Structure 1
Amino acid sequence: MHPRSLRDTPVTSVLLTNGDIDHIAGLLSLREQTPFSLFATSEILDVLSENRIFDAVNREKVTRHPVALAQDFDLQPGLSARLFAVPGKVPLFMEGNDVRTDLIGEQTVGVRLTGNGKVAYYVPGCADVTDAVLKQLSDADRIFFDGTLWDDDEMIRSGTGIKTGRRMGHIPISGPDGSIVRLQGLRAAKTFIHINNTNPILQPDSPERAFVEQSGWDIAHDGQEISA
């Protein structure tokens, strides 16, 4: 990922999985007349089009590619992707009075990545592991999955928020219907990503981290590299 020259970035493709601020704001750091390809569903691209600040991501330099669900496309040579719907909701700043967190469509997606004979899944936001999600993930060699919160009311108890994890569109890690239990039957290696700073699994000596590791999961960290 090291730049090759003074104003260079080796980033050639960006893929968005939803329209939340923490997923799209990083585009503004890549706006300095540097070309790359931007992939997302039409609904997520509409979120960008409806907000003038993203005009800073120069369309003459950044090609926007709308991608349909279940459509294979190349992110780069040797790396293919396919988007699939997972339970979720519209971005926070687009919510109305009636909020649904079980929407199935283009607003929240996971990614199936294939390359070098391996299959990986990237799912940073998921409100529930349904039977359909389990079926989708069944051929995975590795899964990178939503690890936002340890339990559903974590942010309320810590005083950092007023919403449950499920209300924010994130299934908790723990509990009888949490992600560890729901995904335990899959053969894939599993890594938690998108971890909130209130989540105790970030603490090296916490019992929650020990439980996660004993359950066969890895916990993502900055600079991590995984070889197939």
Structure 2
Amino acid sequence: MKLKVLGSSAGGGFPQWNCNCRNCDGVRRGTVDAKRRTQSSIIVSTNGMDWLLVNASPDLLTQIAAYPELQPARRARDSGIAAVVTMDAQIDHVTGLLMLRERDTPLPLYVTDSVLQDLSTGFPVVSILGHYCGVERHGIPLDGSSFVIPAVSGISIEALPLSSKAPPYSPHREAPQRGDNIGLTFIDEASGKKAFYAPGLGALDPHVLEAMRGADLLLVDGTLWTQNEMIELGLSNKTGAEMGHLAQTGADGMIEVLDSIERAGVRKVLIHINNTNPILIEDGPERRILAEHGIEVAFDGMAFEL
């Protein structure tokens, strides 16, 4: 199983277009050692030609241009994107679907019932695509059973409901539904190796911890370094928890959680990194702390093979 990070940033990318925090200003000026990043998304494949796109970010066209495997040019109109899964209905995970409208066949789209509701009402992407390529919608089971995507052979997928809120535009924003946000475990059917992906984690329920402890690769929420990061910078009045994200530091933070996972050989990688997070600075003290704990920081183009 091959897995590649298309985008490793949280919503807005890095640098964020309207932000002049130390990180964003520094990367523009070249005064900090940091990589630019697009908004979070990954691709998964076994044959390296047919890929499952997991979340379609607003930066999708830039990401396709950056990675030749997504444009294999086997015929006049072609794409390496064989199917799409969206883990929630957040703007930074679904807007890129509109960029796929030139397909000459309906887009295979795998979503939960609650996400489909949002993409058919509050942000009617599915209805809009109906006027272009169309959508071939597939459900995602939330009962613990695995499912497969025929266009991407050799991989089984398990979806885990996460504690979260639907997007602000959602008709059920204040009445969370099971399936508003999910984590995914990808299982290579040949090797049995597992990769767990959850760019947004607001709470670690027992079933989520169980999935994390059974994985060989963890790609998990790296949004904020501290709970009050955005407040202290004067950029928001919400804590990380109120935004639906675990901070890396503090009691029950992501560092502490990842330290508790002792599976031999597991790679622990933070993804969905907010533009304010000091771990973006390659030579900063926060990166040294992560290294001491055996935790890596995802970057665009980072690749894994399981």
Answer yes or no: same fold by TM over 0.5.
Answer: yes
Q: Secondary structure at the match of 2:71?
A: coil
Correspondence for 2:78: 8
Correspondence for 1:67: 140
Q: Distance in 1 between matches of 2:294 and 2:72?
A: 38
> Which digits, 9 at most, give the CA deviation of each residue in 1:27-52, with x for residues without a partner?
11112134431111111111111133
Of residues 87, 97, 102, the one that matches 1:32 is 102
TM-score under structure 2 normalisation? Answer: 0.68
Q: Secondary structure at the match of 1:39?
A: strand
Structure showing greater relative contact order (alpha-carbon pairs closer than 8 Å, 6 or more residues apart):
2
Q: Secondary structure at the match of 1:176?
A: coil
Task: Give the aligned CA root-mean-square deviation in angstroms.
Answer: 2.1
Correspondence for 2:302: 224
Correspondence for 2:179: 106
Q: What aligned pairs does 1:190-209 form with structure 2 within 5 A after superposition?
A: 190-209=268-287
- 1:130 equivalent to 2:205? Answer yes
Q: Secondary structure at the match of 1:92?
A: coil
- 1:55 equivalent to 2:127? Answer yes
Q: Secondary structure at the match of 1:22?
A: helix
CA, structure 1 residues 111+13, in 2 after alignment: closer, same or farther (shift >3 Å)? same
CA contact 1:86–1:104 (8 Å) conserved in 2: no
- 1:43 equivalent to 2:121? Answer no
Give the letter aligned to residue 72 of structure 2.
R
Q: Distance in 1 between matches of 2:171 and 2:298?
A: 30
CA, structure 1 residues 88+53, in 2 after alignment: closer, same or farther (shift >3 Å)? closer
TM-score under structure 1 normalisation? Answer: 0.90
Is there any run of 5+ residues in structure 2 with no aligned partner, and where? Answer: 1-68
Correspondence for 1:77: 153
Give the letter aligned to residue 3 of structure 1.
Q
Correspondence for 1:212: 290
Is there any run of 5+ residues in structure 1 with no aligned partner, and where? Answer: none
Instruction: State the shift of 1:99 in Å.
Output: 5.0
Instruction: State the shift of 1:161 in Å.
Output: 2.1
> Which digits, 9 at most, give the CA deviation of each residue in 1:203-225, with x for residues without a partner?
01111111112111111101111
Instruction: State the shift of 1:61 in Å.
Output: 4.0
Correspondence for 1:20: 90
Q: Distance in 2 between matches of 1:205 and 1:165?
A: 24
- 1:158 equivalent to 2:233? Answer yes
Give the letter aligned to residue 37 of structure 1.
P
Q: Distance in 2 between matches of 1:168 and 1:95?
A: 18
Q: Distance in 1 between matches of 2:185 and 2:159?
A: 6
> Which digits, 9 at most, give the CA deviation of each residue in 1:112-145, with x for residues without a partner?
1101320110111110123332123221111110
Q: Distance in 2 between matches of 1:202 and 1:20?
A: 23
- 1:90 equivalent to 2:162? Answer no
